[in-house]
Structure 1
Amino acid sequence: MAKYTFLTLLLFCAFLTYSQNKSPLDNIVITSEKGKTAVYANEKGELQVNVSPADVAKYKAAGVVHYSEFGAKGDGKTDDIDIIAGAHAFANMHRLSVKADDGATYYIGGKVRQVIIQTDTDFGKAAFIIDDTEVQNRNASVFSVTSGLKSFKLENITSLKRNQGKIEASLPGPCLITVTNAKVKQYIRFGLNQNNGSSQTDIFVVDKSGNVDKNAPIIWDFDQITEITALPIDEKPLKITGGRFTTIANKAESKYTYYNRNIGIRRSNVLVEGLEHRITGEGDQGAPYGGFINISDCSYVTVKSTILTGHKTYSTIGAADKPVSMGTYDLSANRALNVSFVNCSQTNDINDSKYWGILGSNFCKNLLYDHCTLSRFDAHQGVANATIRNSTLGHMGINAIGTGLLLVENSTIRGRSIVNLRSDYGSTWQGELVIRNCVFVPADGKPFSSALISGSYSGQHDFGYTCYMPEKITIENLSIDDSQHPGNYQGPAIFTNFNPEMTGDSYQEKYPYVKTKEVIMRNVTTASGKPMRVSDNAFMFKDVKLVTGQ
């Protein structure tokens, strides 16, 4: 008697600050009847996957399935997305790994069909063409790496405190906790992309007993909680390797209709290694992208030895009714903890301003670049602890706001400053900044009056939180290549002029800026021979204690 098994997969679309949609439940019917192993879509668009009993036994004995075994053509012309989705659905059910066929080229068109990955997947030397010229649902990831574990709401937790060490909850094991207070708005953006802010949000990891991981602490006081959920963390690592992906870029109108045709990672404890992503077909217009590797609502994710591509920058009319360049990303992290990018690079010139900076992130903790050569590091709506080491950053440099320790070491920075504290979110860093053993080439060697730390703060806008400059800044063994400088150059400054209007005590900040208390500088050299200065705005930084020498 034939056995029928029904597998229901919940498809998640990418979480981004500018878009938050969920696709409907999608039923995949898996059967094991005599006859041919095949995948096809019924009249409702649902997938029917039949695997013969002999093939079931064979695949389970081998521990792996191949796309070709389910009927994938791999000829670069036939749309193989249904076959790929069906192969993964069967593999997920039986906990088998998946292997693409080396030498194959899998074409993926614009139809709605999401591939759910829950087991180790080796894309190997196969090529994947993702055609975005005619997409039915731009919000749906092509591949979604998910957990078989289900999230659940926590009851009886009505408030939280910053740096709270434990929550009182009954948990099955280590969990990722996400908490929201919709009654409080933060990150109330200022400038051309102004908005009304985001609901107060925090995300952290607890063990089975509810103890909070001290390396990623709770960073806000929650006087009220409107939603708090726990997602169990998969203890077994999931590995995704290889694959040569090419996106044929969309040609949509240039406005904030983000495309999320990507690999969405929604599971903790994942390694992506050896993947390549390229982009073709970018024309005179196009909608922006939300990251080809899009990491969200998870922890312990590493992207290693991966080659990426910066997207062409398009402009639109922003919220302030003025032209604005649109952020568009090949890497994205949102509400994610302990995310590492190791030995990653990009195909296009990291100093070519035609291409937008490659990473965007929001609500993250413990982000790492190590041995990376990329155009930008960026934390929009806050990061708690970030490290850039052994890396080279291009024309958009390091942009961040947040808390904790921002560490830049053994790296070369070719942006306009070493660290830009984003002015649209209050140029705030509540913690410490350390710059150690680095080379700074201002504006990639173009004539430029450089400052190590840039930002802007008028004190007249409410961002939804108190804004801070790093309380303590340590700069050690820094070489500044400012040999190409303008004629009126006075030497590099520690701080840019954060508020040109603040020139005396008469200037009143409605929302006062908590300024840096101490800067420690040791062994800072300039190619121009000109000495370091504190800032063009001597008044604003008059109370900063400057410690120099050994």
Structure 2
Amino acid sequence: MTDRSKPSRMTRRGVIAGIGGAGIGLVHSTTHALARDAAADGAHAGLSRHLTVQAMKSTIVPREGGWAETLGFHSPGDGGAALYRIQRAGGEEVANEADVLALRDGFLAVLHERRAVNYKMFGAVGDGKNDDGVQIKLAHAYANRHQVPVVHLSGEFWIVRTNAIPITMPVQWGKTVFHIDERYNRRTAPRFVVQNDRPAKVLTDDTAFRDALLGKLKPGVQIIDELAPYAGHLMIVQDAEDRIGIRAGYAGNRGWAREELFYVEEEGRVLGDIAWGFRNFTSIRAIPCNDNYLVIQGGGFHFSGDTPQDSTPGYHQNGIAVQRSRTIIREQWMGLEPGRRDLSVEPRNGLYVLGNVYDVTLENIRAMPWEKSRRAPEQPVAHGTYGIGGARMLNCTFRNVTADAGWISWGVFGTNLNKNFRLENCRLNRVDVHFHCWNLSITDCTIGLKGISVTGGGELVVENTTRHGNTFISFRPDYGAKWDGPIRLRNCTLKPSSNGRVSVLSMRPSDFDYKYPIGLGTSVIIEDLRIDYAAAPTSGAECWLMDISPFSRTQTGQRLFFPHTLTFRNVTVEGRQQGVRLLRIADPGHYDVRRPGVCDDSWIQTNCILVCDKVQLEKTYPARPGDVAQVHLQIGGASPIEYADQRALVPKVIFTDCENVTIVLSGCAASAFLQRCSVNAFDAPDLRGELAFSDCRFQPDVRAAGPRFYSLDSTLGTRLTNCTIHAPIVDGKPAPEMVDRFGFVEINKSLRHYHLNTGLSREIVRHLKARGVKLTPEFVAKLKVNHELDE
């Protein structure tokens, strides 16, 4: 019987956890069974039993084909009990004093385990002095060669200088604890590597395949017939000569090669939305994905927190690199050694680093972010340092992962090229995708002080999630603050952590040529949002639902794309009285909504709808009518607006059930409809479009009065239905005598625009009676019905 040609019939494999009467009985019965099995196979029937490896080496009389069994490696019952086959030296096996032991007279004892191995079988000590990584690496190499799992459920081991421990077989670590000496972290070698045991295929030189793929790989593609032979592969294609994603603020940065990754199913079905089209491919790789799941379960990792020694500066590895698709890692704890602090001045790639993988899951894990922004005189880390990192990740899920900290620590997540990225029931201090996140889902999570920072596109969905900090999502300005796809926040909570400015969505790119289109999403929906100022109750700073740049076209002439739908619904504020504002759109004329919008002297066709429904707005106090510093919504600015073409922004604005509305629509093309709102200020100079107010209450509340409170002129007409005019409040005091400054009404003289059943508040009526002013029948008739064509 050879190691590979016949399955082992051994019935006792790694079951002795201790020694005693019952244990010895099991050893004896198993030994006899092993002897019978060996005899039945025609091998030498002799099997010797020894207390330890050292006892075996000193007492055994080796015979070719014999068997030996130990009750422990260093001492009986230490967990290293194992079975060995005796053979002569000189073949492929070389003594390593772990699974291959040197015996007298030129013989070797070769470990013979075919169900599972553990680290004690290879001589790991666990005394805090030995570099157990040496034996652990040999154990995994053995498990990989013989296709057996590693099962080690308890004990403590110290990994000092050892790196690149290979894993291709399932692992159960249970309560095992690993102590990692970070003085020996290295830039290119993680401590453990979950390896893909199937090599990638390079297809770049297949001209026919490359040309076919080049013609068909584009946004929206579902099936590419030529990909059918590569079902079960992760495809990564690049054009290194086409650089995109140039990073603003980093002189000399060359950005990224235009690149896509996707998974191929049967018949050439493409999984993973394609974002780009290509002019050429300089690299095509097909990475085989295993047809089974590798599970690594359990274990705890304690890190020393030291700066790496004898290594070049830069990002270092200290944990587990995952390079195999369909890998599941769960039930793990990672943190610092008791009493230690993170003192490293070099950044880390991550405790987990995922690269070139499809369908990987991390769940039930306690990770940690690392220190970066230390206060003087302590030395900060020069670059961002991460607890979880990676690039080229497709369909990866993180479930019940915890990694939170305060202001000194950096982000736990730092990834690039992360597609179909899912977070479920996690508590993390930061979620960060630098370049090209595509499809991000965050549900039932808590995100800490470092926030959510992304760029990319696809669907961005955040549900039932709490964010601690002053911005819910920050779209990275160094990569263009872009999101090319729908954005939806539902049933979430933002908890500002300081008295500074607050924004739910921050989308402020630099005026820079990023070499790809940038913009503010295809749609934005924020529903059932609660903003809780419990941690900053004295804050008087503004809170904006969207904070965007003042330009819609870069200096190089590139137009920013703009959402066709903006919906803000059921937004409430707790912990302070001050509500929220919506957004400022200073230059609508050069946005690209990607659909036509037209406004002429008789018709308006909008290409964007902006809905504000049941939103708790801030009570603003304009210094004067048209004060743009005190608005909830601003479209247009001081300069006349030139529209680039029909794809420029022409919005329909709908406000429903909102109080103290303050809007400026200056020189733009727009429709605005307000229903059941109180209107503090509305300034629409040179508006091309239409205005309609239904069941609204007009009451200006300003610091100082000007010649008029409202400017409601519009080229296509302004309509008021069932609205009420209330006495103005100027500098905190009612001023019913200023009702004639509304801009559309003069008592007993004129009424401008279309009116149906317009009313005067009782305060104004009482004021008129006190002044002896009686409303004329003609004026009352105008309040009931007034048509502009009658003027």
TM-score normalised per structure 2: 0.58
In percent, how many aligned pairs have the same letter? 27
- 1:235 aligned to which of 270, 291, 303: 291
Residue of structure 2 in register with 1:129 after alignment = 179
Residue of structure 1 in register with 2:561 after alignment = 514
Residue type of the alignment partner of 2:557: K
- 1:390 aligned to which of 439, 444, 454: 444
Residue of structure 2 in register with 1:25 after alignment = none
Residue of structure 1 in register with 2:545 after alignment = 494
1:93 to partner: Cα distance: 1.8
Residue pair 2:431, 2:453 contacting (<8 A) in 1 also: yes
Structure 1 residue matching 2:229: 3-state secondary structure: coil
- How do 1:16-415 residues align onto structure 2 when only pairs under 5 Å count? 50-51=99-100, 57=112, 59-60=113-114, 63-102=115-154, 104-111=155-162, 113-135=163-185, 137-154=186-203, 155=206, 156-158=209-211, 159=214, 160-167=217-224, 168-169=226-227, 171=229, 173-191=231-249, 195-213=253-271, 216-252=272-308, 257-280=314-337, 281-282=340-341, 286-314=345-373, 326-346=383-403, 348-349=404-405, 352-415=406-469
Residue pair 2:347, 2:384 contacting (<8 A) in 1 also: yes
- Stretches of structure 2 lacking an aligned partner (at least 5 in a row): 6-64, 69-82, 86-93, 102-107, 589-633, 636-648, 658-791
Residues 513/119 of structure 1: CA separation in 2 closer, same or farther (3 Å cut): same
Residue of structure 1 in register with 2:690 after alignment = none
1:76 to partner: Cα distance: 2.8
Residue type of the alignment partner of 1:70: F
Residue pair 1:65, 1:96 contacting (<8 A) in 2 also: yes
Residue pair 2:491, 2:529 contacting (<8 A) in 1 also: yes
1:361 to partner: Cα distance: 1.0
1:233 to partner: Cα distance: 1.1
- 1:533 aligned to which of 581, 592, 606: 581
Residue pair 1:175, 1:208 contacting (<8 A) in 2 also: no
**Could you tell me how far apart the structure 2 residues matched to 1:138 and 1:70 are?**
28
Residues 325/447 of structure 1: CA separation in 2 closer, same or farther (3 Å cut): farther
Structure with the larger RCO, 1 or 2 (CA within 8 Å, 6+ apart): 1
Residues 170/404 of structure 1: CA separation in 2 closer, same or farther (3 Å cut): closer
Deviations 1:258-312 (A, max 9, x none): 0112200011111111111113554655100001111110111111010011100
Structure 2 residue matching 1:133: 3-state secondary structure: helix
Residue of structure 2 in register with 1:466 after alignment = 517
**Could you tell me how far apart the structure 1 residues matched to 2:276 and 2:133 are?**
43
Residue pair 1:37, 1:70 contacting (<8 A) in 2 also: no
Residues 305/548 of structure 1: CA separation in 2 closer, same or farther (3 Å cut): farther
Residue type of the alignment partner of 1:389: T
Residue pair 1:180, 1:226 contacting (<8 A) in 2 also: yes
Residue pair 1:457, 1:513 contacting (<8 A) in 2 also: no
**Could you tell me how far apart the structure 2 residues matched to 1:330 and 1:364 are?**
16
Deviations 1:465-494 (A, max 9, x none): 01021121111111111363666534x212
Structure 1 residue matching 2:270: 3-state secondary structure: coil
**Could you tell me how far apart the structure 1 residues matched to 2:539 and 2:471 are?**
19
**Could you tell me how far apart the structure 2 residues matched to 1:33 and 1:228 are?**
52
**Could you tell me how far apart the structure 2 residues matched to 1:405 and 1:489 are?**
31
Deviations 1:181-222 (A, max 9, x none): 111111110125872111111110002432201xx1222111
Return the structure number with greater helix share. Answer: 2
Residue of structure 1 in register with 2:481 after alignment = 427
1:364 to partner: Cα distance: 1.2
1:453 to partner: Cα distance: 0.7
Residue of structure 2 in register with 1:452 after alignment = 504
Residues 487/530 of structure 1: CA separation in 2 closer, same or farther (3 Å cut): closer
Residue type of the alignment partner of 1:309: M
Residue pair 2:124, 2:136 contacting (<8 A) in 1 also: yes
**Could you tell me how far apart the structure 1 residues matched to 2:553 and 2:545 are?**
25
**Could you tell me how far apart the structure 1 residues matched to 2:655 and 2:128 are?**
61
1:354 to partner: Cα distance: 0.3
**Could you tell me how far apart the structure 1 residues matched to 2:652 and 2:481 are?**
20
Asked which structure has the greater CA Rg, the reply is 2
Residue type of the alignment partner of 2:369: G
Confirm whether residue 477 of structure 1 aligns to residue 523 of structure 2: no
**Could you tell me how far apart the structure 1 residues matched to 2:356 and 2:95 are?**
27
Residues 73/326 of structure 1: CA separation in 2 closer, same or farther (3 Å cut): same
1:114 to partner: Cα distance: 1.6
**Could you tell me how far apart the structure 1 residues matched to 2:313 and 2:514 are?**
22
- Stretches of structure 1 lacking an aligned partner (at least 5 in a row): 6-31, 39-44, 317-322
Residue pair 1:314, 1:326 contacting (<8 A) in 2 also: no
Residue type of the alignment partner of 2:283: E
**Could you tell me how far apart the structure 2 residues matched to 1:200 and 1:475 are?**
32
**Could you tell me how far apart the structure 2 residues matched to 1:98 and 1:285 are?**
32
73-82 or 371-380, larger mean C-alpha shift: 73-82
Return the structure number with greater strand share. Answer: 1
Residue pair 1:432, 1:471 contacting (<8 A) in 2 also: yes
Note the aligned Cα RMSD (angstroms). 3.2
TM-score normalised per structure 1: 0.82
Deviations 1:412-455 (A, max 9, x none): 0112211111000000000010000011112x2x2122111113
Residue pair 2:99, 2:110 contacting (<8 A) in 1 also: no
Q: Structure 1 residue runs of 4+, over 4 Å off?
A: 1-5, 32-38, 45-49, 51-57, 252-256, 280-285, 485-488, 505-509, 536-541, 543-550
**Could you tell me how far apart the structure 1 residues matched to 2:655 and 2:533 are?**
20
**Could you tell me how far apart the structure 1 residues matched to 2:579 and 2:556 are?**
31
**Could you tell me how far apart the structure 2 residues matched to 1:419 and 1:46 are?**
57
- How do 1:431-442 residues align onto structure 2 when only pairs under 5 Å count? 431-442=485-496
Residue type of the alignment partner of 2:484: Q
72-81 or 508-517, larger mean C-alpha shift: 508-517
**Could you tell me how far apart the structure 2 residues matched to 1:170 and 1:48 are?**
48
